[in-house]
Structure 1
């Protein structure tokens, strides 16, 4: 790109298109392309290719003419720079984690090479491939025997053993794809490879099962075990930097504890209104037992969605497009999925947790109690409108390229922020039971900060997290196990659970600045927030308040008081 700094040059450049937006869209597509071409996470070649790509893009980005950009372009520049740096740190962290798994995976590189040769369509020598499988199987058998004997040279921490077992399961799947690609198409492939492949396929499965059973304590077939991989204080600090949160992990925990204490005070007030004095847990028990009969939950959810939509429209709080309002769908959560998501999920649709006939008696009762009428009322507007469903609708239509900058502080923070607003809004009718339901969710989000950050600091085990949710928050044990399993099974970022409460606090603080200090209408604030699409909340603040931005921007907003 030719660099031009004159006003006329800037106009020409903008008329030709937004180069930062184009760059973000290209980087998004290129990164996905590399990941799809080299899909094995353990691959050294994959990591090197991604690292080279990220460094090249960062170096190129530094040559961009930051000073001529408008505010939206400056924000995009900072967002993509932050994203690239975060991806690089993530690769470095995974490399360090994989170094610790090496004693259990001496056979991995040979199998990765086979699979990646297939990806690049390098001509295969079936005899050589069979020999490599045979030699690798011998190494796998040696590892299994050492693990059984608890030999010193395969002694690794539980979280590293869990990571190694998952790598083996992934390798087994990639090797199956490799075998299927050649089988029946290469005249000599099956003759040489079928037997050694069949042997190594079973050995890989046995290796993963043995590592889990001996080094972790997970027996074959036990899909409910919770292990997780703490990232440590340095890892948390890196994640906080990426999320533009200028607080330490210890300060984050302190915020969670203060908000937790506030919830308990309010819970006691609600309990007094219900005739239970200060015994909020007794009040919670009454609320949990107020559920609809099996088969009636879908209608309850539909009625609650309509109630929430009518409220925000009647009081002109946010724009709700007709298609967003009328085209949402509902599905039921499977029993297996409820082990990880014991409550509702939302977004494009709402997925409802409720008991099925296949559950045992105890599981049915816990699902009924965990998805009672008053919990569900708060859940529905969190998941649908004005929460996630409205978010997803707007994300697809306004600056959709910013979906790359996905962050729980924006996604989950927005939905919990509405719980704050409706709690404070006396026009939203609330019985004492409704208040207990709303407060329980808020308490739950405070607890998420406390247990998840402490887990990653190495201060709490998964079992201690479960016990905390049951004893201090009032979870059903099944929902507590599902919550902790969901938090640590690897599908969510380390700060995802903290993002609910912290993001809501950020948005609420920004709302105060915009409505109280700058006299922005409430509906305009909400609409502008959604149209900006996903990003750390400090960047939303920079856009709304037209804050001066530098190329090397560092987060500094201390939003919590």
Structure 2
């Protein structure tokens, strides 16, 4: 990698730049790009490239993105790092980390695509047809028909291998291949629709072979799911997922600036769970159930409101949390953020993936409707009882995600490019920790409701990392949530389905608790040293926008960082010393 000006020790000694000085914007006729402008430009460049080269399995797409990321990284390294102020240096590191992460992801995706390659030998032909259309190359109907004829022959050949058990592809790669085939089918439909009717000779040649291939792709995807993945036709509730392995986890942890191994993170999850269980027993004793906290939990689950009453409960709980943080001057709550949140009800189908609430700009409430069977209704009501909902509401609304998203759009919005669950989800769960410390849960039922979620986040670290290490199956993850946390079976299935079948990154589920622990530790450093007060700290976190928490720490502490900054913050050491507040 080429070394940029100001990157070597000698350059740093030679360049005497005041830390407060911003890089110049103009020098004669030469334009000098600010870091914010560079980030905005890269963000827009990538949006355009990914929209144009939109076939994920395509070698052309991967090669073009790799070329761009490498050029952007080399160009970034040519800038004078020491010429930037602290904000600019952090932006440099954020962009550099983002570009490197993109290159690592391309490398991992390429390896995954190679593993599923034997099932999709026709992918390159379909991708080329679609990409030639995208680049407006002339189409020859006869040649296109012949390409589709060859695709049809390849599908038939692979179908025989799958049916006769000769396809040597693992379950995860087969699942990836089945999904890729569905996407290729969509792209091919878009290709055919572009020319159909507008080019009479194209339609004359291609209509029949296209219809045949479209049907064969659909059947082939279903066959792979059934024979190699184990998903029967119509089984929309199956949970498979794609474990990324230890190498993939380590790469993601490096990008997230978490200097812990997967095994160490599992230990953190287990240690936090032990703390939660001890507190759960205390609350259980207060309710008269002794150490049988699961019995106390069953009691709390029975405290739900009747049909049609959940929206009123959610509004009350949201108002309670807003009034509390304002009364205790914990964080700035802009009037517009307070008055413009909205509520929607979640459909029964969506509740299979999101059995609890979702939030952000609005809160989407899970609760039964009249189309659900009796068992599903009871599981939904028990899983969204009054005291579980209390934590969920302030996690999703204020001071959690709603306030967070309000500020994201208004303060350094260009940093939203550096999306990370450790900041997004860590912030919302951090408030569960802070409000617990302050005595916000005033009754044993309140405490059990909050502890249920803390246990859930501990279990998420354990099962998600073990799944990606290949140590747990989806069913074992479901069983863990039922046995270890006390989930209803349906809500446990929904949580695991959401974790592995959705669009979440492998570390997303672990990011809740680990990100919260990072912010919690950073808060202690800043407040106990007298550097800032509580409200000042919380406002600063929100106004710096998204980034790995270790870079937020470097920004707050004005640390002397270099362009080759490496993660080293062991944020969990000494974490057993928790804060206590009066309510």
What TM-score do you get using the length of structure 2 for normalisation? 0.94
What residue in structure 2 maps to residue 425 of structure 1?
438
CA distance in 2, matches of 1:449, 1:12: 42
CA distance in 2, matches of 1:302, 1:210: 47
- Asked whether the equivalents of residues 22 and 84 of structure 2 are also in contact (C-alpha less than 8 Å), the reply is no
What residue in structure 2 maps to residue 244 of structure 1?
257
What residue in structure 1 maps to residue 416 of structure 2?
403
What residue in structure 2 maps to residue 523 of structure 1?
535
Is residue 2:496 matched to residue 1:479?
A: no
User: Considering only aligned residues, what root-mean-square deviation do their CA atoms show, in Å?
Assistant: 1.7
CA distance in 2, matches of 1:235, 1:342: 29
Cα offset, 1:285, TM superposition: 0.5
For 1:507, which of 519, 535, 544 is the aligned residue?
Answer: 519
- Structure 1: gaps of 5 or more residues: none
What residue in structure 1 maps to residue 70 of structure 2?
55
Cα offset, 1:184, TM superposition: 1.2
CA distance in 1, matches of 2:564, 2:530: 27
CA distance in 1, matches of 2:34, 2:220: 50
Describe how 1:95-106 pairs up with structure 2 within 5 A.
95-106=110-121
Is residue 2:159 matched to residue 1:147?
A: no
CA distance in 2, matches of 1:271, 1:528: 38
What residue in structure 2 maps to residue 158 of structure 1?
171
Residues 515 and 10 of structure 1: CA distance in aligned 2, closer, same or farther (over 3 Å): closer
| 1:306-338 deviation digits (Å, cap 9, x = unpaired) | 111111111110000011000111111111111
For 2:553, which of 541, 545, 553 is the aligned residue?
Answer: 541
SS state at 2:24 partner: helix
For 1:253, which of 260, 266, 283 is the aligned residue?
Answer: 266
Cα offset, 1:471, TM superposition: 1.1
Cα offset, 1:134, TM superposition: 1.3
CA distance in 1, matches of 2:221, 2:430: 43
Is residue 2:18 matched to residue 1:13?
A: no
- Asked whether the equivalents of residues 17 and 82 of structure 2 are also in contact (C-alpha less than 8 Å), the reply is no
Cα offset, 1:518, TM superposition: 2.6
CA distance in 1, matches of 2:23, 2:53: 39
Describe how 1:190-229 pairs up with structure 2 within 5 A.
190-229=203-242
- Asked whether the equivalents of residues 5 and 79 of structure 2 are also in contact (C-alpha less than 8 Å), the reply is no
Residues 11 and 169 of structure 1: CA distance in aligned 2, closer, same or farther (over 3 Å): closer
CA distance in 2, matches of 1:104, 1:192: 27
Residues 11 and 374 of structure 1: CA distance in aligned 2, closer, same or farther (over 3 Å): closer
CA distance in 1, matches of 2:154, 2:5: 56
- Structure 2: gaps of 5 or more residues: 7-13, 574-583
What residue in structure 1 maps to residue 481 of structure 2?
469
CA distance in 1, matches of 2:434, 2:571: 17
CA distance in 2, matches of 1:17, 1:98: 40
What residue in structure 2 maps to residue 391 of structure 1?
404
For 2:366, which of 340, 346, 353 is the aligned residue?
Answer: 353
For 2:102, which of 43, 68, 87 is the aligned residue?
Answer: 87
CA distance in 1, matches of 2:100, 2:74: 11
What residue in structure 1 maps to residue 142 of structure 2?
127
CA distance in 2, matches of 1:68, 1:52: 27
CA distance in 1, matches of 2:103, 2:560: 27
CA distance in 1, matches of 2:60, 2:141: 23
Is residue 2:42 matched to residue 1:27?
A: yes
Residues 12 and 280 of structure 1: CA distance in aligned 2, closer, same or farther (over 3 Å): closer
CA distance in 1, matches of 2:15, 2:138: 52
| 1:504-558 deviation digits (Å, cap 9, x = unpaired) | 1111111111111134111000000100000011111111111110110001110
Cα offset, 1:6, TM superposition: 7.2
CA distance in 2, matches of 1:2, 1:155: 51
What residue in structure 2 maps to residue 167 of structure 1?
180
Cα offset, 1:2, TM superposition: 12
- Asked whether the equivalents of residues 250 and 262 of structure 2 are also in contact (C-alpha less than 8 Å), the reply is yes
Is residue 2:317 matched to residue 1:308?
A: no
Residues 452 and 11 of structure 1: CA distance in aligned 2, closer, same or farther (over 3 Å): closer
Cα offset, 1:279, TM superposition: 0.4
CA distance in 2, matches of 1:465, 1:353: 22
Cα offset, 1:431, TM superposition: 1.0
What residue in structure 2 maps to residue 43 of structure 1?
58
For 2:190, which of 177, 180, 187 is the aligned residue?
Answer: 177
SS state at 1:52 partner: helix
Is residue 2:80 matched to residue 1:65?
A: yes
Cα offset, 1:270, TM superposition: 0.5
What residue in structure 1 maps to residue 11 of structure 2?
none
Cα offset, 1:139, TM superposition: 1.0
SS state at 1:529 partner: helix
CA distance in 2, matches of 1:525, 1:28: 29
| 1:349-408 deviation digits (Å, cap 9, x = unpaired) | 111111111111111111111111000000000000000000000000000000011111
For 2:304, which of 286, 291, 295 is the aligned residue?
Answer: 291
Residues 12 and 491 of structure 1: CA distance in aligned 2, closer, same or farther (over 3 Å): closer
